[in-house]
């Protein structure tokens, strides 16, 4: 399984953009990069995923480095509801088996 490195914690102010980095230097060429987040007292929820190209959806954007050794989850305008632990997960193939690391705890201040 590819190893990931994420900051333990980050802070942001409401309505400001947030860039959450993830290093995954051992990622294989066929691994997708998935992001999940876990709001307080809830189960994780899917945010976004990508392979090589940058990706956008209603929740966030995912910027993937050209060498694929790192990626950045971008929340364009943080809200208080975005306060959560964010997990970057290279998907190593196989039967839908996701391995969660420690993630980044994001605090959003009013």
Query: Which residues contact other proteins by CB under 8 A?
Result: 30, 32, 34, 36, 38, 42-46, 49, 51, 87, 91, 93-103
For the CB of residue 100, give the shortest distance to other proteins in the complex, in Å: 4
For the CB of residue 43, give the shortest distance to other proteins in the complex, in Å: 3
For the CB of residue 89, give the shortest distance to other proteins in the complex, in Å: 10
**Which of residues 94 and 110 has its CB atom nearest to other proteins in the complex?**
94
Residues 6 or more apart whose CB falls under 8 angstroms from that of 23 comprise 4, 5, 6, 69, 70
Half-sphere exposure of 32 (CA within 13 A, CB side): 13
**Which of residues 49 and 69 has its CB atom nearest to other proteins in the complex?**
49
For the CB of residue 70, give the shortest distance to other proteins in the complex, in Å: 19
Tokens of 59: 């929740």
> How far apart are alpha carbons 49 and 34 in whole angstroms?
4
* Strand 84-91, strand 32-38: pairing: antiparallel
């Amino acid at each position: 399984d590819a190893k990931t490195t994420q900051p333990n914690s980050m802070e942001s102010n409401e309505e400001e953009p947030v860039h959450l980095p993830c290093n995954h230097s051992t990622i294989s060429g066929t691994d997708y990069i998935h992001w999940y987040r876990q709001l307080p007292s809830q189960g994780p929820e899917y945010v976004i995923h990508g392979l090589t190209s940058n990706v956008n959806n209603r929740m966030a954007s995912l910027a993937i480095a050209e060498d694929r050794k790192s990626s950045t989850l971008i929340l364009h305008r943080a809200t208080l509801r975005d306060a959560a632990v964010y997990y970057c997960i290279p998907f190593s193939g196989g039967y839908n088996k996701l391995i969660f690391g420690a993630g980044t705890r994001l605090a959003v201040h009013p």
